[in-house]
Structure 1
């Protein structure tokens, strides 16, 4: 990749176009399962720029968008997910811009990354066809639920590299946490709530079980790198009674080197002893989803490109591990090395204050363009 070629592509990046892309994407409500409107918008943008856009069906009215450029098989794919979590407030989910910061549902996770990838793609398209790198652009559905969009893509393709634009504050992540989801259910005995001594309160049992589990050294926030989070808890709701059923879901984000199976076994052993502390305990435990993390390291072609361009962008280069779950786990399990890198941060993702800055989105577009140009060398 020559500096001259990179400068030509960077000069084609349009900050106002990036801004418009992000604002218009955030304006379109696209929770998992209802992504068609935002895909129609992106398809119009990309087809309007002269690209052949392939719809890759996932299920009825849901599809990925797939594009390629350059000669030969793509050496790298830019991958972005267009779905978001559900809105906190349907009156307030849209974009709000102030002082170069855009707030709104999906700004960080990850419509900011998608806007940057589309802008990088449009800038690369300013090159003559013979100078364009062999790369692909994949805009997928379903990441916030079960990753069905990326899973569908992986049925037929295994590119040498993918870059996913999850929010990392532009820190390149060649390492990725694993993930384990635990589901706990306690059963009790329903009785009128004025006579709790005659029943068995499943909620009280669950609270004691969770306290017992949380005291395990495995989940000590001071000494363990495992991220333990009780995501939700719900009980039977049938009027003025002692609840006879309670369910809890626990998210565990595991350091890259941690085996989910070992954590699962440790949790089963801990929970097997819970009956000693919870009288009459009736507990069911299941692990509905598990995914290993990975460590690739930055000693590769993409890492070399980043080392060359970050000083030019006046950005600190700090390799990190992505702490959440993403489609990167799916790609790596399928044998595809993955770099997670995007604008915005996990600190605001999935919150009412979700945000990203326009300068970060523009910088991400420049980084993605450079990675595409550098991918053809290795």
Structure 2
């Protein structure tokens, strides 16, 4: 371990990191309402001597951007400060038991954000300004919705590499699934619910359509390489009537190499076939949100640095593919290499039992610090 890294390691303070994580979990920051988080993080970083820039995304919504070292950063640590909306605000606050932190966003990804901020503070404290590596810290809004924070950043900057602290169980992910959001709208004829024979039930059409989709090999969970989930369904809220409209959203996660456009065409063909089996089917299919996956491989400088760091920290070096959607898809499409690496796991993210092990958050800070030094050397 180099002398610089030893100094930075000593400057990573578990007590400070623990407080930062608890404070972040105590701030409710769903997409669109991230300002309290950004104000808190600005205060921490400025107290540590950083010059924090606000990058406007829209009115009262902005990213935070900090850089150090000489020249344009070769590497950015990227964290998103927003979460999904709370399922129960009273029970979604922070709680700690036996070194495990529970709460909304603990895994996705306030644990990663806390580790990145601690990394930044340790680098700033341990190294004189002239010795600091050319790296950046980017804390973005809007990842859980449409990625508008990262999109705003990419309008003016395209760094060679970014590390995104999504929950991977500390397994480096150089491969990333693509994402396809499909919406299906069935139309019917409204009638009084006591006279269904006079109408046409859009919900019944939708259920038959979903069953038809489920019979296709593309949606066979045991055989298909596509991960799909029926996320939401709603019908026209008209009271005591046969509904004349039903809308369903399906999330599809596509492994690297699966072209979203080909999957879209396959779904359109399946839906077209459904007209043969579902009487009077009227359906509209839309694909509003689409990103291809990627695989950067493991023969690159970033992977070489990680192998050394994991050996020094006595961590198992296990590569994985990130199975969810993230801003990594946006960065890759813009020409930047995104590594997904952070504490916590997708298994509990977005659930009432969301959690992160504090020891993993602390380890993540050490990994990020070592990467900033080794990769930029």
TM-score higher than 0.5 here? yes
TM-superposed CA distance for 1:98, in Å, is 0.6
CA distance in 1, matches of 2:26, 2:272: 48
State the partner residue of 1:114: 113
Query: What pairs with 1:229-248 in structure 2 (closer than 5 Å)?
Result: 229-248=229-248
In 2, distance between residues paired with 1:252 and 1:72? 40
Residue of structure 1 equivalent to 2:21: 22
Question: In the TM superposition, what whole-angstrom CA distance separates every residue of 1:4-29 from its partner, at most 9, and x where no partner exists?
Answer: 22121111111111111110001000
Structure 2 distance, partners of 1:59, 1:184, is 30
What SS does the corresponding residue of 2:212 show, helix, strand or coil?
helix
2:265 is matched with: 265
Query: 1:1-378 alignment to 2 at 5 Å?
Result: 3-125=2-124, 126-377=126-377
1:233-262 Cα distance to aligned partner (Å, 9 max, x none): 000111111111000001000001100000
**Contact 1:141/1:147 (CA < 8 Å) preserved in 2?**
yes
Q: Map Cα deviations across residues 61-90 of structure 1 (whole Å, 9 max, x no partner).
A: 100000000111101000000000000111
Moved more, 301-310 or 333-342: 301-310
Could you tell me which runs of 5 or more consecutive residues in structure 2 were left unpaired when the two chains were aligned: none
**4+ residue segments displaced more than 6 Å:** none
Q: CA deviation at 1:146?
A: 0.5
Give the aligned CA root-mean-square deviation in angstroms. Answer: 0.8
CA distance in 2, matches of 1:186, 1:156: 41
Distance 1:344 1:249 in 2: 27
Deviation of 1:3 after TM superposition, in Å, equals 2.4
Deviation (angstroms), 1:331: 0.3
Deviation at 1:198?
1.8
SS of the aligned residue for 1:80 comes to: strand
Q: 2: CA distance between counterparts of 1:214 and 1:182?
A: 14
The count of corresponding residues between Structure 1 and Structure 2 is 376
Please give the secondary structure, in 1, of the residue aligned with 2:336: coil
Give the CA deviation at 1:375.
1.9
Secondary structure, counterpart of 2:127 in structure 1? coil
SS in 1 for 2:46: helix
TM-score (norm 1): 0.98
5+ residue gaps, structure 1: none
TM-score between the two structures when normalised by the length of structure 2? 0.98
Contact 1:253 1:323 survives alignment (8 Å): yes
Q: Any idea what the Cα deviations from partners look like across 1:351-374, whole Å, max 9, x if unmatched?
A: 111000100000000010011111
CA distance in 2, matches of 1:209, 1:109: 33
- For the Cα contact (< 8 Å) 1:302–1:374, is it kept in 2? no
How far, CA to CA, are the matches of 1:275 and 1:5 in structure 2? 67
Contact 1:301 1:374 in 2 (8 A): no
Structure 1: distance between partners of 2:113 and 2:188? 47
TM-fit CA distance, 1:218: 1.2
Deviation at 1:282, TM superposition (A): 0.6
Distance in 2 between the 1:305 and 1:19 partners? 27
1:66-122: CA deviation from partner (whole Å, max 9, x where unpaired): 000011110100000000000011111210001000000000000000000000111
Secondary structure, aligned partner of 1:273: helix
| Contact 1:163 1:341 (8 Å CA) reproduced | yes
Per-residue CA deviation, residues 178-228 of structure 1 (Å, 9 max, x unaligned), is 000101000011111111122111001000101111111112111111001
User: Conserved in 2, the CA contact under 8 Å of 1:343 and 1:361?
Assistant: yes
Tell me which moved more, 36-45 or 313-322: 313-322
